[in-house]
Structure 1
C-alpha cells in the first residue's frame, strides 16, 4: 500500500511521493505522471536547462505557452509563463524535501 507524502502543492500542480515504493507523482490539472526518483531528477534537470522565451509559442487561444515533453513520448505538458515558473519552483522544492525524507528514513 502506498504511503503518499506531499512534497509541494501550489495552484494547479502537486508533487508527492510514496514513502514505500519511492514513486514520485506530478499532478498537474487532470494529468498524473509517475517517476522513479532518478527519472524525476532527470526531468527536473531538463526543465532547468530550458528557457521559457526560447521555447514558447503562441497557442490558438492567444496565450503564449511552452511545450515540455514528458518521459512518455505521447504526453506533453503545456505551461503559461506563471505555470512554468511554478512548476520549476515546485520541482526544486520537491527534490529538497525528498532528500530530507531520505535522511530521516
Structure 2
C-alpha cells in the first residue's frame, strides 16, 4: 500500500505550473553561473519525474566553482521522503555546516 503525503500534489500538472517551468528554464539558460556560491545538488538516480540526465544539464549550466553533488542510488524524485532520508538529511546538514564555515 502506497503512503499518502497530504502536502504532495497528486494530480496532473496545471498550465500555470508548466509555464513557470518554461520561464525558469529559459532564465537559467541565459543567466550565468553561481560563481563561488556553495551549491548542493541532490538527486535520486531513479527519478522518473525529472530524470538524472535532464537535471544534470540544468546544474551544469549554472554550477560554479563550489558544487557538491549527491546522487542517491535507488532514490526517486522526493529524496527527503525516501527510505534513506536520514542519509540525505545528514548530507544536507554537513553541507550547510561546511558552507557556513567557508
TM-score, structure 1 as length reference: 0.27
The answer to which structure has the higher strand fraction is 1
Report the structure, 1 or 2, having the larger helix content: 2
After TM superposition, the score normalised by the length of structure 2 is: 0.27
Q: Give the structure with higher Rg (CA).
A: 2
Higher relative contact order (CA 8 A, sep 6+): 2
